[in-house]
Amino acid sequence: MIDASFAPVLASERRRALDVLVSAFTADPVIRWLYPEDQSYPSLFPGFVEAFGGRAFSEGTAWRLRDYAAVALWLPPGIEPDGDAIVAYLLSTVAPPQHHDLESLLGQMDDAHPRYPIWYLPWFGVDAASQGKGLGSELMAHCLTIVDGDHVPAYLETPNPRNITFYERHGFEVVGESQAGACPPVISMLRATRR
């Protein structure tokens, strides 16, 4: 049985979910390489979240825990991020000197992305004020109950090496790394099908 504190993000509360992810990724190495300025990060990062994982809102696979202490944007099998929208948004908001490394990184990530049915996790975060209290594990457990019902693998990329052990505790294994120029590495992780 799923706890009542775990629920889909309502359309009217989309902004609250984005605010959680802005808070969660404030110190992320790759995201802050993209958006290093403190004054512009809060206004630019939500557009990237939308471009990369916004389809989770329309699919009903954007989930929150409690009163928006943590948020996960999952894309179910058959639903992929809009690559053109991601590239267009990033090239319009990231400083031009970073474009070459950014395009190389995105190409590597695309090449590594599975071509078979998966649940894909583009965004997962706990509000900075609520981190370290087990809420990420609680949210992940709820999400994986749903994911495992489809009997397909789960896949994610993490731009923060500190998160690798968290995902490993939930059954993900490192399967690759994307890195270009001055951009910090992005680690790819896969969780095998559960029956």
To which H or E segment does residue 141 belong?
A: helix 135-148
Ordered structural domains, the chain, with CATH: 6-191 (3.40.630.30)
Q: Is the confidence at residue 94, as pLDDT, over 60? A: yes
Q: Give the pLDDT confidence score for residue 6 in this predicted structure.
A: 96
Secondary structure E strands in 139-185: 154-158, 172-178
Average pLDDT over all residues of the chain: 95
Q: Is the pLDDT of residue 113 over 70?
A: yes
Mean pLDDT of the 146-173 span? 96
Whether residue 63 is predicted with pLDDT greater than 60 in this model: the reply is yes
Amino acid at site 131: Q
- pLDDT at res. 195: 73
CB 45 within 8 A of CB 35: yes
Mean pLDDT to the nearest integer, 68-93: 96
pLDDT one-digit tens code per residue, 116-137: 999 999 999 999 999 999 999 9
Closest CA to 49 of 18, 95, 27: 18
Q: How far is CA 160 from the centre of its chain?
A: 11
Per-residue model confidence (pLDDT) at position 194 = 85
Confidence band, pLDDT 50/70/90 cuts, at residue 105: very high
- Record the pTM: 0.95
d(CA 165, CA 14): 29
